[in-house]
Amino acid sequence: MNYVSSITPIGKMLTGLESADSHATLQAVSEDLRTDLDVSHVVYHWVSGSGDQYGCGTYDPAWVERYMEKGYLRIDPVVLGCFQSFHPVDWKQLDWTSRAARAFLADAVAHGVGNQGFSVPIRGPNGQFALFTINHFCDDEVWARFTGDRRRDLILLANAFNQKALELQPGRRPQEAAALSPREVEALTLLALGHNRAQVADTLSISEHTLRVYIESARHKLGAINTTHAVARALQRGAIVL
């Protein structure tokens, strides 16, 4: 069930994100994440349905300012290539052939943006759209290895960032804890009691595959990194009682 590899610092990050209570904390988490992943930059950027923008990340403020001033949003192949999509994108997959795109890339690299990048687009509620990006200076081989090993981690991080950013939106009502269905509660309860997967599946008269999906759903709703964390969070929230 461990979609998140246990050796990554991602667990710590997701836990840090979960307790973030302001944009400043979100910014700090992005900085920690850069250190822990050992990449050049971590960037999160969102646009709401009504056009409001918010971003945090590790880019040099001079680059952010230049990006705005030059209107790069209109030619940035990452934004153009990811907007409204829901599949993760490696920057090498994008079209950098136009003169404007090449000039943009040269300017970006001159400002410390990596030559490699991986972006996860997210479609949120009510037309909200967000982009979570990791970028780095390295060759293709190293990058292919990194994104190959970490793809799911990065997707989970992207979604955790977005969930938190949505929660921090001004005027948003405090979010009620995502309700678990009775079946998810039963599954987590049995796991909390120390039963293994096969026993839980057997007790609930479902296949282990089905159980796996129920646990994955519960994991997401609880904002947990893995099954153990999901059980702990469910207990802590009182969603399950032993």
Partner 1 sequence: MIRYIYGRDLGTHPRLRDGMFRDRAAQFVRRLGWDLPLTPDGREIDAYDGLDPLYVIWETPGGDHGGSMRLLPTLGPTMVNDYFTHLTDGVRIESPLIWECTRFCLSETADPRVAAALMLAGGEVLEHFGVAHFVGVFDARMVRIYRRIGASPEVLGSAGRGRAAISVGLWSFETEARARVATRAGIAPETSRRWFDAAFGTPPRRTETAHVSRQANRNSQLPREITAAVSVPVA
Instruction: Please give the Cα distance from 76 to 96 (Å, whole number).
Output: 9
Q: Identify the residue among 5, 92, 98, 109 touching partner 1 (CB under 8 A).
A: 92
User: Does residue 214 touch partner 1 according to CB under 8 A?
Assistant: yes
Place of tokens 């997967």: 197
Going by the DSSP 8-state scheme, the letter that residue 175 receives in this structure is P
Which residue type is seen at 235?
A: L
133 binds partner 1 (CB under 8 A): no
Position 12 contacts partner 1 (CB under 8 A): no
Nearer to partner 1, 68 or 80 (CB): 80
Q: Which stretch binds partner 1 (CB under 8 A): 10-18, 47-55, 63-71, 148-156?
A: 148-156
115 is a site residue for partner 1 (CB under 8 A): no
Other beta carbons within 10 Å of 17 = 21
CB 165 within 8 A of CB 46: yes
152 binds partner 1, rule: CB under 8 A: yes
What are the CB-based long-range contacts (under 8 Å, 24+) for 179-185? 179/221, 180/218, 180/221, 180/222, 180/234, 180/239, 183/214, 184/214, 184/215, 184/217, 184/218, 184/221, 185/234, 185/239, 185/240
Q: Which stretch binds partner 1 (CB under 8 A): 10-18, 49-57, 105-113, 218-226?
A: 218-226
DSSP class of 49: T
Interface pattern 19-58 for partner 1 (x via CB under 8 A): ----------------------------------------
Which range touches partner 1 (CB under 8 A), out of 66-74, 165-173, 206-214, 226-234? 206-214
Of 12, 23, 70, 151, the one binding partner 1 (CB under 8 A) is 151
In angstroms, give the least distance from the CB of 160 to partner 1.
Answer: 9
Binder to partner 1 among 221, 223, 227, 229 (CB under 8 A)?
A: 221
- 6 makes contact with partner 1 (CB under 8 A): no
Q: Decide if residue 73 touches partner 1 (CB under 8 A).
A: no
If we measure between CA atoms, which residue out of 65, 66, 55, 98 comes closest to residue 80?
A: 98
Sorted by sequence, the CB contacts under 8 Å of residue 33 that are 6+ apart come out as 9, 13, 42, 157
Does 183 help bind partner 1 (rule: CB under 8 A)?
yes
